[in-house]
Amino acid sequence: MSRFDLFRTSEDHEELRAAVRDVVEAKVAPHAAAVDEEARYPQEAHDALVAADFHAPHVGEKYDGVGADALATCIVIEEVARACVSSSLIPAVNKLGSMPLVLGGSDELKERYLPPLARGEGFFSYGLSERDAGSDTASMKTRARPDGDDYVLSGQKSWITNAGVSEFYTVLAVTDPDAPRGKGISAFVVEKGDAGFTFGEKEKKLGIKGSPTRELLFDDVRIPGDRMIGEPGTGLQLALRTLDHTRVTIGAQAVGLAQGALDFAVGYVKERSQFGKHIADFQGIQFMLADMAMELEAARQMVYVAAAKSEREDADLSFFGAAAKCFASDVAMKVTTDAVQLLGGYGYTSDFPVERMMRDAKITQIYEGTNQVQRVVMARQLLTR
């Protein structure tokens, strides 16, 4: 491999991008506005992504998956997000929910849950945050009390993406309240049909309206002990390792979203005329577009580098995953806001997609750790070298 190949996606990656784009343009993009307006789950995208094996591309071939590498998975998410961010949460959250299993699950547990995910028979969600334990995950109050060979789960989780749609949930709970802070937390697989497990009402949100967000409610839910992921007390460390990998996918989502907004804005300014010429001919407009594209490409490169580090599990992944997510989501917010500005009054209406994109962009700065938390993560990595 030439040293220059390090900065170029492979032919396979670009063939994958083209294949995803074809599916998205035919089956996802036509429904994106209605999904947002009706705040409904993007079933059309769900069906299309499952049919094409793009719903959980990270699952290995050993478990009936396609075995896409981290960069390929990011490309899938990026391309879906260009048209519909709600739909891009299908592959993104399937990776988030199942990554603890991939990283720390027993062979038996992987054999039980990863093949159904790969076949599209059961999606995964991730239960970490609580009402009073958002960024401060170690202060969670959900308990899993040992009872014979089982655990009895009680408490709640908040802001859970695709809750109610997914069949499987990775849930973090305190198994040893007397352990040092963060050391008594364990991870479990909870199934949708487990007795005592229910969902709160759908949250009414600014954006990503097609992706249902609900509370998970646990009323003495009995979980067999063999559904624990990894060893007792290792759940929080596993959760944080998971986020190192999946923050990269949020960066990819942000890049796709920004690309969709830039593409639309470029097309608009080339057609819109004022003062006797296309507004694309005005230098002020050109400077805005140049800045949008420049920052977007910088974000894409950061995400792709972080994806490569995720695949290799490099020691500095924590820094690069946080940096990619933080920078790309800030860029997505800026690019989508500028796209609205470039459309003027039209940009502020739902007749055009950029206002939806701007609303959707905001969450990328918040979930999987706010961008303030990402900066804390990066600073800690710098100060402990």
Q: Are residues 160 and 283 in the same domain?
A: no
- Both 208 and 159 in a single domain? yes
The whole-number average pLDDT for the span 123-150 is: 96
Give the pLDDT confidence of 281-294 residue by residue, as tens digits.
999 999 999 999 99
At 207 the pLDDT is 98
Chain centroid to CA 289: how far?
27
What is residue 223's DSSP assignment? E
Please give the residue range of the domain that contains residue 348. 237-383
In this prediction, residue 4 has a pLDDT band, given cuts at 50, 70 and 90, of very low
Query: How many domains is the chain built from?
Result: 3
Last residue in a domain, options 195, 210, 233: 233
Q: Rounded mean pLDDT of the chain? A: 96
Residue 167 has pLDDT above 90, yes or no: yes
Instruction: Say yes or no: 336 and 216 in one domain.
Output: no
Taken in order 7, 11, 12, 16, the sign of the CA dihedral is: positive
Catalytic residue among 79, 130, 355, 368: 368
Same domain, 139 and 113: no
Summarize pLDDT for 302-347 with one digit per residue, the tens: 999 999 999 999 999 999 999 999 999 999 999 999 999 999 999 9
Output the CA angle 354-37-362, nearest 5 degrees: 45
Q: Is the pLDDT assigned to residue 1 strictly greater than 80?
A: no
Q: Mark whether 369 and 241 lie in a shared domain.
A: yes
Q: Using one digit for the tens of pLDDT, what is the confidence trace for 55-74?
A: 999 999 999 999 999 999 99
Q: Are residues 266 and 329 in the same domain?
A: yes
Region 244-258 average pLDDT: 98
Same domain membership, residue 92 and residue 204: no
Q: Tell me, what's the pLDDT at 6?
A: 55
**Structure confidence at residue 385 as a pLDDT band (50, 70, 90):** confident
For residues 186 and 234, the answer to whether their CB atoms sit within 8 Å is yes
pLDDT tens per residue, range 185-205: 999 999 999 999 999 999 999
- CATH code for position 69: 1.10.540.10
| Per-residue confidence (pLDDT) for residue 64, from 0 to 100 | 97
For 190-228, letters b (16+ CB in 10 Å) and e give bebebeebbebebeebebbbbbbbbbbbbeebebeeebb
Domain end, chosen from 233, 250, 277, is at 233
Regarding whether 289 and 205 lie in a shared domain, the answer is: no
Q: Are residues 146 and 200 in the same domain?
A: yes
CATH label of the domain that carries residue 346: 1.20.140.10
Task: Check whether 5 has a pLDDT greater than 70.
Answer: no
Distances (CA, A) of 172 to 111, 129, 188, 207, 235: 21, 9, 6, 26, 6
Confidence of residue 84 (pLDDT cuts 50, 70, 90): very high
Residue 3 predicted with pLDDT over 90? no
* 180 and 89 share one domain: no
We report the CATH number of the domain holding residue 214 as 2.40.110.10
Residue 158 structure tokens? 């908040």
Percent above pLDDT 70 for the chain: 98
Of 184, 215, 233, the residue that ends a domain is 233
**173 and 104 in a common domain:** no
84 and 129 part of one domain: no
CA distance readout (Å), 279 to 45, 268, 344 = 35, 9, 11
Is 368 tagged catalytic?
yes
pLDDT at 237 over 80: yes
Would strands 185-191 and 228-229 be described as parallel, antiparallel, or unpaired? Answer: antiparallel
